[in-house]
């Protein structure tokens, strides 16, 4: 793994402060058979990033989000644990 100034090793794991794009607000259209079509508006910042484990792009609500899912986070933790033991 390459070292980067925006990648910080904290006491609880990695923090990734690098993002490719910022979007303010998000509009999500839903369909429910009982209620029909409705729109949900989220007023927040969304940061487009790359997962450090699988390299997929994802939108994170937190600036320091590092992984796209909990399974990637657990897999990275297992990998680090195996390297530390060896």
For the stretch 45-62, pLDDT in tens is 888 888 888 888 988 888
Do 66 and 74 contact (CB within 8 A), yes or no?
A: no
Do 28 and 64 contact (CB within 8 A), yes or no?
A: no
Q: Give the model's pLDDT for residue 10.
A: 57
- Strand spans (E) along the chain: 7-10, 13-16, 21-32, 36-50, 57-60
Question: What mean pLDDT, rounded, does the chain reach?
Answer: 77
Q: What is the mean pLDDT of residues 13-23?
A: 73
Residue 1: pLDDT band (50, 70, 90) is: very low
Q: Above pLDDT 70, what percent of the chain? A: 78
pLDDT in tens, 61-84: 887 788 888 898 888 888 877 766
What are the extents of the domains in the chain?
A: 7-85
Query: Higher-confidence residue: 50 or 1?
Result: 50
Question: Comparing C-alpha atoms, which of 58, 50, 47, 60 is closest to residue 21?
Answer: 47
């Amino acid at each position: 793994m390459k070292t980067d100034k925006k990648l910080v090793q904290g006491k609880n794991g990695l923090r990734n402060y690098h993002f490719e794009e910022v979007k303010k607000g998000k509009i999500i259209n839903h369909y429910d058979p009982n209620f029909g079509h409705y729109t949900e508006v989220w007023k927040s910042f969304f940061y487009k990033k790359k997962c450090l484990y699988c390299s997929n792009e994802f939108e994170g609500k937190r600036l320091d989000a590092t992984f796209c899912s909990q399974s990637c986070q657990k897999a990275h933790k297992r990998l680090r644990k195996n390297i530390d033991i060896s």
